């Protein structure tokens, strides 16, 4: 059982939560805010809490809701406990990939994104496609941008080296924020990027399993 399913806490450090709230409050975007991967909704509550119930922009949450039993009910309980209305909040209970196809078909656009779903390289690379739907001037945050999560780190570093239309806003612990400064001249995730993630998947999984095994042996 995930700890957050009982505590309803954000799976982020206090510094990360403060940084996230600072960005949301300072930018004060009126467009849609997106969270991909919500766990118990702890961080969602922090983000939604930056606005009052009347003036809050639309929030979309994408999650397959299988992180722990009754995940969606627990997220809703968390919102209610924090006095946050579900009005203007849309849950898309599906995988990030399926939700992305739907968002493209609907021509969705977002001012703010928090990407914090699967940290495996195949998934992170696929999640980077969402940036196509980020408005110019908008900010996307990535959680667990750290060497400990090579799937996240390698994908984002590759993305940033190829897309000069993103500038770094800041980093708090492992929460990285970048701003889109212009439309993308080339696809956000090319066939070569996807091929790179496929190629790296197995070595990273082997590395992860060896790390786990060593930890267990040392315990
Ligand atoms: C690390 S937790 C998110 C933590 C949350 N952002 C917070 O700060 O409290 C990851 C979440 O992503 C969801 N998830 C993982 N892979 C996913 C996928 N491929 N599509 C949709 N949701 C996914 C899980 O169900 C889980 O709720």
Q: Is the CB of 118 under 6 A from ligand 1?
A: yes
pLDDT at 186 over 90: no
Q: Is the CB of 17 under 6 A from ligand 1?
A: no
- pLDDT at residue 32, as a whole number: 98
| pLDDT tens by residue, 45-65 | 999 999 999 999 999 999 999
| pLDDT tens by residue, 80-132 | 999 999 999 999 999 999 999 999 999 999 999 999 999 999 999 999 999 99
Residue nearest to atom 7 of ligand 1 (CA): 11
pLDDT at 9 over 90: yes
- pLDDT at residue 165, as a whole number: 97
| pLDDT tens by residue, 160-172 | 999 999 999 999 9
| pLDDT tens by residue, 147-158 | 999 999 999 999
Helix (H) or strand (E) holding 93: strand 89-93
4 phi, psi to nearest 5 deg:
-65, -20
Q: Mean of the pLDDT values across residues 187-201?
A: 96
Q: Is the CB of 42 under 6 A from ligand 1?
A: yes
In the block, tokens 């999984």 appear at 205
Measured in whole angstroms, how far is the alpha carbon of residue 169 from the centre of its chain? Answer: 16
Q: What's the gap in Å between 63 CA and the centre of ligand 1? A: 6
Q: Are 65 and 37 in contact (CB under 8 A)?
A: no
pLDDT at 219 over 90: no
Residue nearest to atom 11 of ligand 1 (CA): 37
d(CA 207, CA 101): 31
How many CB atoms are closer than 10 A to CB 124? 26
Pocket test for ligand 1, best of 21, 37, 114 (most atoms within 8 A of CB): 37
Q: Is the CB of 11 under 6 A from ligand 1?
A: yes
Q: What's the gap in Å between 195 CA and the centre of ligand 1? A: 24
Q: Report the predicted TM-score, pTM, of the whole model to 2 decimal places.
A: 0.96
d(CA 1, CA 146): 25
Q: What's the gap in Å between 116 CA and the centre of ligand 1? A: 6
- pLDDT at residue 171, as a whole number: 98
Q: Is the CB of 10 under 6 A from ligand 1?
A: yes
Map out the domains of the chain with their CATH numbers: 4-218 (3.40.50.150)
Q: Are 72 and 65 in contact (CB under 8 A)?
A: yes
- pLDDT at residue 185, as a whole number: 86
Q: Mean of the pLDDT values across residues 212-218?
A: 90
Indicate the average pLDDT of the chain: 96
């Amino acid at each position: 059982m995930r700890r957050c399913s009982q505590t309803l806490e954000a799976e982020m450090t206090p510094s990360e939560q403060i940084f996230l709230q600072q960005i949301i409050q300072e930018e004060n975007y009126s467009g849609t805010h997106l969270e991909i991967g919500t766990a118990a909704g702890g961080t969602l509550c922090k983000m939604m809490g930056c606005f009052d119930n009347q003036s809050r922009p639309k929030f979309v949450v994408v999650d397959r809701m299988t992180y722990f039993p009754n995940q969606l009910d627990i997220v809703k309980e968390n919102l209610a406990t924090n006095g946050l209305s579900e009005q203007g909040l849309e849950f898309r209970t599906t995988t990030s990939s399926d939700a992305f196809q739907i968002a493209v078909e609907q021509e969705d656009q977002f001012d703010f994104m928090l990407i914090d779903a699967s940290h495996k390289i195949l998934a992170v690379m696929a999640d980077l496609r969402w940036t196509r739907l980020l408005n110019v001037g908008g900010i996307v945050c990535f959680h667990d941008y750290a060497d400990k999560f090579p799937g996240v780190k390698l994908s984002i570093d590759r993305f940033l080296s190829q897309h000069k239309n993103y500038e770094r806003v800041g980093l708090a612990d492992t929460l990285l924020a970048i701003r889109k400064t212009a439309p993308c001249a080339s696809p956000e995730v090319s066939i070569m990027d996807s091929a790179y993630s496929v190629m790296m998947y197995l070595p990273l999984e082997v590395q992860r399993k060896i790390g786990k095994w060593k930890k267990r042996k040392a315990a």
